[in-house]
Chain A
Amino acid sequence: MAEGLSVTLSQSSPIVLDCALECAPGELLALVGPSGSGKTTVLRSIAGLNRPSQGRISCGADTWLDTQQGIDLAPQVRRAGMVFQSYSLLPHLSAQENVALALLDLPKGERIRQAQDWLARVHLHGLEARHPGELSGGQQQRVAMARALARAIGNGPAPAVLLLDEPFSAVDQVTRRKLQQELARLRRELAIPIVLVTHDLDEARMLADRMVLLHHGVNLQNGPPEEVMSRPANAAVARLIGQTNLFEGVVGGRGDEGATSLDWLGLSLEVAAESEFAPGTKVCWVIPPEGVHLHRRGRPYPGEGSNRVSGRIEDRLALGPFTHVTLRPARGGPPLAFSLPSHIALQDAIVPGAEATVTLLPQAIHLMPAEG
């Protein structure tokens, strides 16, 4: 790939890394994984702050790292604008001086003008003279963002990348939403690769074009967040992204229109997607909570009656407008989780012990290889 960022890394200590990723100019790639999964180490390797034992990193036409050829550029030479998790603003410098630090190679007048421009871009006009200690958490994050942008873009055209290490983790939720929206707007104007490290799946879903799911330093799956969420590659990915409706079943015969059936708890479930598994294969399968539909009391449910599961409500947790419910199937087996609007839970008396029926949407069922 001549354009954009291309990374292949491998190391065995201090933590194991074995992954590859690519990020095109203008694309926002989320590196997602639990703590200790190596996502920050990948980001630090791109910036040149971590030296993997083997790997190759190129940005546009520039090679930043190639262990086979003995290339390992210093962080100073790589044009990587980095927002650190705790921002790492320099306490002895004002907001403007912090940003200007990334523009030291420009003549002084031009440097000051650009630093002011970047601060205005992140809505900090008028706060240029403040020191980090005099700024709120959200304002500090914006200064860090302005500094990273100035470094990546402000020094003229050269292959550059923007690296964001959990940039929203140190602020309160209201500020976080605001900053996330600002990034979503700002990134549309940026024509460089952006790599965002986060452990927050919602954040990845909201901001990223693609995500890479890391676990123990290994890239388990990558793709658009919606796809990774709804079509996890295997049971490990399903667990990492918090899919609780993870079950085992056996692939049944093929239907007329390419649809597959799935034997589960003695039921034959209809699966919309064509299956890569031969009939009789043991599989794992998931269904996201939004694919589980409750039958309302006293109202007919459309459809022919396939994919229906009856049972008793086991648990109910009301969280504001939505209520999270688990249903224990009458045929046994692990509980099914789903959510419904809280007022419906109230109207239909969805309380522990109540009988209920749900339909599993055929298009929401996703089959995966059985676990070895």
Chain B
Amino acid sequence: MMDWGALLLSLKLALFTTLLLVPLAVLLARPLAWSRFSGKGLLESLVALPLVLPPTVLGYYLLTAFAASSPLGQTYAALTGRTLVFSFDGLLAASLIFNLPFAVQPIQRAFDAIPRAAREAAWCCGLSHWRTLWRVELPLAWPGVLSAIVLTFAHTLGEFGVVLMVGGNISEETRTVAISIFDRVQAFDEQGAAWMSALLVAISFAAISLFHLLTRRVGKSYG
């Protein structure tokens, strides 16, 4: 009654998404927090768009963009021999896009809160920009990065609409736990749906609790 394959796939998708997206979000959030450039407002709006778009709309456009006949789909197929639609690869790509605001926004807010003088002090100590990022900016922005990790992970576990549109419902390939629950309800397997829903609640709750615990500890060490 428990679809372990779906759970494993969801965890794998969440893990890969988090690992790929959070470093990307750091690179994107930094200029958004500190630099002024033309098109910054537009970029911020684009990043926030997945928050307000219906998942089916986002899913529809991704499906169109990923289609085997599209330039993107053809290029991907030529490079890897795989397709983007109805595959784990496509699911991961979609996941990276619909999680953008969840990863970028907390990190951007954290970078925003770092006083410029802290970075200037690091530069005047001789730290290169790269060293400043590692030794000063990331430690100070850590609560925001942690928040991005947890939000991205938990949100990927729970996403339904985009996953269904782009990935479909292929066992062991694109059927995530959220879709499996939907399946069970449609098949009147209420007990299976209940178990899996409860498990998803437990995992999400654990992730959020862990986040709170870690940020509290970070807050303490800042003294």
Contacts and interface: CB of A to CB of B under 8 A. Distances in A.
A88 B126 CA distance: 15
A247 B123 CA distance: 49
Given A88-B115, A88-B118, A104-B131, A151 B125 contact: yes
Interface stretch (B87-95, B135-143, B168-176, B197-205): B135-143
Interface string B125-137: 1111001000110
Given A84-B117, A86-B117, A104-B131, A92 B124 contact: no
Nearest to B135: A101
Interface in A145-181: 147-148, 151, 155
Nearest to A133: B223
A346 B161 CA distance: 90
A19 B42 CA distance: 41
Contacts of A81: 124
B37 interface: no
Nearest to B138: A92
Interface string B2-45: 00000000000000000000000000000000000000000000
A133 B219 CA distance: 12
Main secondary structure of the interface of A (DSSP, over half): loop
Contacts of B139: 92
A134 interface: yes
Contacts of A90: 118, 121-122, 136, 140
Contacts of B117: 84, 86, 88
A92 B127 contact: no
B222 interface: yes
Contact of B126 (A86, A89, A91, A104): A104
Interface stretch (A72-80, A194-202, A277-285, A293-301): A72-80
B125 A92 contact: no
B221 interface: yes
A104 B126 CA distance: 8
B123 A74 contact: yes
A49 B223 contact: no
Interface in B97-127: 115, 117-118, 120-127
B121 A92 contact: no
A155 B135 CA distance: 19
A47 B121 CA distance: 10
A47 B124 contact: yes
Given A76-B126, A104-B125, 13 more contacts: A47-B124, A49-B123, A74-B123, A77-B126, A82-B121, A84-B117, A92-B139, A101-B135, A131-B221, A133-B222, A133-B223, A147-B125, A155-B126
10 contacts: A48-B123, A49-B124, A76-B123, A76-B127, A82-B121, A91-B223, A131-B221, A133-B222, A134-B223, A147-B125
